[in-house]
Amino acid sequence: MNVKTKKTANLNDERLSQKMERLGECLLAPMAAGTQNWARRVGRALDEIGEAWNRHQTEAESEDGPFSPDEFKGTMLPALDKRVENLQQEHQRLRGLIEAMRTRLDEAAHSSNQSPKVLDLLRIRRRGRILLEEIRKHKEKETILLMDNVTVDIGVGD
């Protein structure tokens, strides 16, 4: 087995998972205590998940990361290489979704001197839940790709 694959096949995303959980809790919190407070808590959680996502992307795509270009090159791996490229594009797309959601939240929270409108915040809640589901699916794809790479790597020497 390729030693580098063995070393990098473990992408530790505990922090990202914790921030996803926190965002999920904030999104589901009741708004009865005040829409402004809800928006503030969700905003902080979005900032935290944005930082965790940036860290995830940087580590995953770094030279020593599990999705580095050297990790998926070779005559046996063109399909895996294409899947890595797709995941990297997804990293960018998901980063954009996080940033867009933060912008929408800021617009809703500061659109007037009054508290944010509940309907706007309900839309943000729905988008946030969709975002979390998309990140979960993305993480699943990454895990499957890492396992496929290990399987191909083991089979190459047979």
Q: How far apart are CA 16 and CA 26, in angstroms?
A: 15
Structure confidence by residue, pLDDT tens digits, 77-112: 667 778 888 898 999 999 999 999 999 999 988 876
Structure confidence by residue, pLDDT tens digits, 106-139: 998 887 667 788 899 999 999 999 999 999 999 9
| Extents of the domains making up the chain | 3-156
Q: How far apart are CA 80 and CA 150, in angstroms?
A: 11
Sequence-separated (6 or more) residues with CB below 8 Å from residue 63: 70
Given this model, what pLDDT does residue 2 score?
Answer: 43
**Which H or E run includes 137?**
helix 118-156
CATH topology of domain 3-156: Four Helix Bundle (Hemerythrin (Met), subunit A) (1.20.120)
